Amino acid sequence: MAPDTASPTSDDQALGLKWSNRVSLTPRILAVNIFALALLGGGFSYLDSYRSRMVDSRVEQASREARLIAQALASTNKDEKRRDILVLSLARDMGTRIRLFTDDGKMLADSRELGLRNVTLRDPDKDPWGLEAARWLDAVIDTVAGAARAPAYRERSSDAGLDWPDVRTAQTAHGSAATVWRAPDRTPVITAAAPITGMGVVMTTVNARDITQTVRAERYRLGIVLLIVSVSSILLSLFLARTIVRPLRLLARAAIRVRLGRAREVVVPRLPDRSDEIGLLARALSDMTQALRARIDATESFAADVTHELKNPLASLRSAVDSLASVKKREHRDQLMEIVQDDVHRLDRLITDISEASRLDAQLSRATFEPVDIGALIQALLDSREARGLPAGIRIAFDHQPGAALTVLGEGARLERVFENLIENAISFSPEGGLIAISARGEGAMLTIRIEDEGPGVPEDARENIFRRFHSVRPESEAFGQHSGLGLAIARTIVEAHQGSIAVESREDRLSGARFVVRLPRGDRG
């Protein structure tokens, strides 16, 4: 289970991709998990404090035992034989070495010399290599943990009892004293001394090897647990890094290829098997790339359409201007000037609509949507249009529920442009004396606005094409070039930017006529 840290491929190098540990997530994931393991490894330091508490407890125990032994020996009344028997019995029962010293430091009795050989300072371990490894590990952990190092245990001569600090302290302070020493095998040796009334000083010596063995056993168990957890954590970290880093690199590679202008040949992986955040990111990037590709295609198509639409009036304008120099009759010159004026007006209209259409997406993306009363907006448009006059006796009826909330969130000026275009489109196609019916109703979470006319209608195969830019199907009575063919395309762009839809349908109640249906999300629903 190796991390995805392979060297860059030739394709990566061509794209300028340089993966290294300085930017890869894999070392960071490993570092975080290893840091947590290091905290677990701090348990070795806890074992040092655990050992210190055990030693302190044993020191207190040795002091109490020394005082008890001193009291017991004081009752022998200097009977040497009885004293030696008691010393030997107490040493055997307590598992310690007992020595008696006079006030001037000379030895009176030693339980070891009396026949007890239960205490040795050399470790009789039959595995010297394991013992040496344990001692070396003790030294390393003590150094890392900063544990205090006890003085080395060294035997004194039988006439130098005062060289023992515990004996000297017990004699001068008339109280018990204890010291912790370090045996050659790094196990603690505890000595304790207490004064004996009228006799001298008693000193006990015990090698607390069991403390070291207990700490080593706990350290071994902790080490096994730490090893298992470390291996598991590293393997899981590498697996986690692979599941995160590898798809991110694939997505980054695709994004860079898109940035370098290779959008059409790039397939951003969607990672359908991933239901987590990385899968969501992959699908979002894929959708974004597709939207970007569609936007690029639309821009290129729009540029081509603009070029085509501008060439027609320019060609007509050029032909008329070229002909002016050779035409002598005034009526012919007037006809050419009318053509020039029409073409200039047509170019001006085209340029204005093209400019608005090209800026529309950017303006809508920055627009701040506010509550807009669609009923009041349409009514204001109708009042203004009727004030200017309706041609050929055309009538307009607006059907909506009085007092009903017809509110959407949007930009009022843009929505006004949508309905103005649709109303003007219905007027231009309506026959003489025709009726234009407008209705607005709330339908669940959507507000539906229908604009119906009595014109020739829209063929079913052309209902989608009429929303394309520069596509115009005009009535025969209308002069050519009066419209740029961008009105319905602009209306659809605005409606879709408001999360709505616009479509054209046939009227069910008549043989002819068109119905434009606009649906917008309502803004009066919580």
Nearest to 470 by CA among 486, 493, 483, 488: 486
Note the pLDDT of residue 99: 92
**What band does 60 get if pLDDT is binned at 50, 70 and 90?**
very high
How far apart CA 125 and CA 113 sit, in angstroms, is 24
Tokens 């639309």, residue located: 298
**Greatest C-alpha distance within the chain:** 163
Between CA 366 and CA 496 the distance in angstroms is 15
According to the 3-state scheme, what is the secondary structure of 77-119? CCCHHHHHHHHHHHHHHHCCEEEEECCCCCEEEECCCCCCCCC
Average pLDDT over residues 62-66: 91
In this structure, of 149-153, 155-159, 359-363, the range with the lowest mean pLDDT score is 359-363
CB-based contact 338:297 (threshold 8 Å)? no
**Contact present, 253 and 14 (Cβ < 8 Å):** no
Number of neighbours of residue 298 by Cβ within 10 angstroms? 12
Q: Please, which residues bridge with residue 98 across strands?
A: 204
Burial class (CB in 10 A: 0-12, 13-18, 19+), 474: middle
Query: Helices (DSSP H) in 325-390: which residue ranges?
Result: 330-366, 374-388
Q: Return phi, psi of residue 419, to 5°.
A: -70, -30
Residue pLDDT, tens place only, 163-197? 899 999 998 888 889 999 988 877 889 999 999 98
Among 9-13, 139-143, 319-323, top mean pLDDT goes to 319-323
Residue 80 region, left (φ>0) first, then alpha (ψ -120 to 50), else beta?
alpha
Ramachandran angles phi, psi of 206, nearest 5°: -140, 135
Give the chain's mean pLDDT.
77
pLDDT confidence band for 121 (50 / 70 / 90): very low
Q: Any idea what the Cα angle at residue 179 is, between residues 175 and 182, rounded to 5°?
A: 165
Residue 487 has phi, psi (to 5 degrees) of -60, -55
How many CA within 13 A on the CB side of residue 355?
6
Residue 150: closest CA among 80, 60, 243, 52: 52
- At residue 458 the predicted structure's pLDDT band, cuts being 50, 70 and 90, is confident
Q: For the residues 247-268, what does the mean pLDDT come to?
A: 75
338 has a pLDDT exceeding 90: no
For residue 491, count other CB atoms closer than 10 A to its CB. 23
- The answer on pLDDT for 518 being more than 90 is yes
pLDDT reported for residue 361: 67
pLDDT exceeds cutoff 80 at 70 = yes
224-228, 382-386, 436-440, 444-448 — which is least confidently predicted?
Answer: 224-228
Tokens found for residue 466: 């009429």
CA distance 8 to 278: 22
Q: Which whole number is the average pLDDT over 373-381?
A: 89
For residue 404, pLDDT beyond 80: no
How much is the average pLDDT of 62-70? 91
Question: What letters, b where the CB count within 10 A reaches 16 and e where it falls short, cover 133-146?
Answer: ebbeebeebeeeee
Is pLDDT at 4 greater than 50 in this prediction?
no
pLDDT(358) > 70? no
Instruction: Report the distance separating Cα 220 and Cα 309, nearest Å.
Output: 86
Which amino acid is residue 279, in one-letter code? G
* CB distance 188 to 178 below 8 Å: no
Tell me what pLDDT residue 191 has: 93
Per DSSP, the residues of 3-42 read -S-PPPPHHHHHTT----TTT-HHHHHHHHHHHHHHHHHT
Q: How far is 132 from 127, CA to CA, in rounded Å? A: 9
Say yes or no to pLDDT of 205 above 90.
yes
- What integer is the mean pLDDT of 388-396? 86
Q: Which two tokens stand for residue 279?
A: 């899968």
pLDDT at 526: 43
